[in-house]
């Protein structure tokens, strides 16, 4: 009986693997718009898709970022000014994209732009610390999608929303986590500077400082540094590969998980009972582990 089950699983995997390898036809007439192309994932994705023959439209927040990207790509790539937090900027970008793609429509929209914001205990923060990440990571992509959806439907294209394992597992306070939980419902690297937390700490009421203790800031920075090392990677290609596959595969996957740590550690942790996950995180068992 066991050999039949193993044989079935092997056949199923081979069929899935061959199906996953199938690609769409000619891409030289397909337009793709990517947000957040000044640096990071969006910048690398724009370069790789440009090399792959796509007609890339790259949303850039700064003119400097746009100029640098144009220098390193072909004449096919066009940059578009975009501040994802401003409706008039999104409207202007949508108009430029509509003019560029014409009757062909938009094959792909990659909602990549995102920020981490400030990550620290919730009672240290003000509403502004939550609002900015939610505007960039959630509300901006939603509005961008609504504006471009008619063009995507015209091309029978795809939408790629960049979320995070931290949209399934909240590790501390701040606007990043609810924004990514929201993106999970709607469908990058963590960075936190010590001086940002130090500034917030200096403005906390004395009773709040007393609750946490003077050593908390140093301890939390050490833990934060370990967490950043665990979740961050200098290899941006893992995420960009997922983007590329989602746009070029004949049968794209519903969800992509970049990196073995996401597949083997962080996502499985989200299926544990809450008390078990909280215990592991509180004891630093996961963050200190060298298993992944």
Catalytic machinery residues: 176
Beta bridge partner(s), residue 23: 249
Report which secondary-structure segment, H or E, holds 178: helix 176-186
Cα–chain center distance at 200: 26
Number of alpha helices (DSSP H) and beta strands (DSSP E) in the chain: 15, 5
8 A C-beta contact, residue 182 and residue 138: yes
The values of phi and psi at residue 37, to 5°, are -95, 5
Nearest-CA neighbor of 172 among 117, 236, 100, 122? 122
Burial of 46 by CB count in 10 Å (0-12 exposed, 13-18 middle, 19+ buried)? buried
Residue 7 tokens, joined: 């044989």
Q: How many CB atoms lie within 10 A of CB 93?
A: 22
8 A C-beta contact, residue 165 and residue 176: no
Report which secondary-structure segment, H or E, holds 244: helix 237-248
244 to 41, 46, 129, 237: CA distances (angstroms): 11, 10, 32, 10
């Amino acid at each position: 009986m066991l050999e039949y089950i193993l044989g079935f699983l092997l056949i199923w995997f081979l069929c899935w693997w061959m199906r996953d390898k199938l690609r769409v036809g000619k891409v030289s007439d397909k337009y793709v718009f990517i947000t957040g192309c000044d640096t990071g994932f969006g910048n690398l994705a724009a370069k790789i898709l440009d090399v792959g023959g796509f007609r890339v439209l790259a949303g850039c927040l700064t003119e400097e970022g746009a100029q640098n990207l144009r220098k390193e790509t072909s004449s096919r790539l066009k940059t578009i000014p975009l501040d994802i937090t401003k409706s008039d900027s999104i409207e202007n970008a949508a108009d430029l994209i509509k003019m560029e793609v014409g009757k062909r429509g938009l094959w792909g929209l990659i909602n990549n732009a995102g920020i981490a914001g400030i990550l620290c205990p919730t009672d240290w923060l003000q509403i502004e610390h939550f609002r900015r990440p939610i505007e960039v990571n959630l509300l901006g992509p939603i509005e961008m999608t609504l504006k471009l959806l008619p063009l995507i439907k015209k091309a029978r294209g795809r939408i790629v929303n960049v979320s995070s394992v931290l949209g399934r597992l909240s590790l501390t306070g701040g606007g990043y986590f609810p924004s990514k939980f929201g993106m999970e419902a709607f469908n990058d690297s963590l960075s936190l500077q010590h001086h940002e937390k130090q500034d917030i700490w200096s403005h906390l009421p004395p009773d709040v400082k007393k609750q946490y203790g003077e050593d908390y800031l140093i301890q939390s920075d050490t833990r934060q540094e370990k967490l950043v090392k665990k979740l961050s990677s200098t290899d941006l290609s893992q995420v960009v590969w997922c983007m590329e596959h989602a746009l070029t595969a004949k049968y794209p996957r519903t969800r992509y998980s970049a990196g073995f740590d996401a597949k083997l550690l962080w996502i499985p942790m989200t299926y544990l009972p809450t008390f078990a996950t909280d215990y592991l995180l509180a004891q630093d068992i996961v963050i200190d582990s060298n298993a992944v």
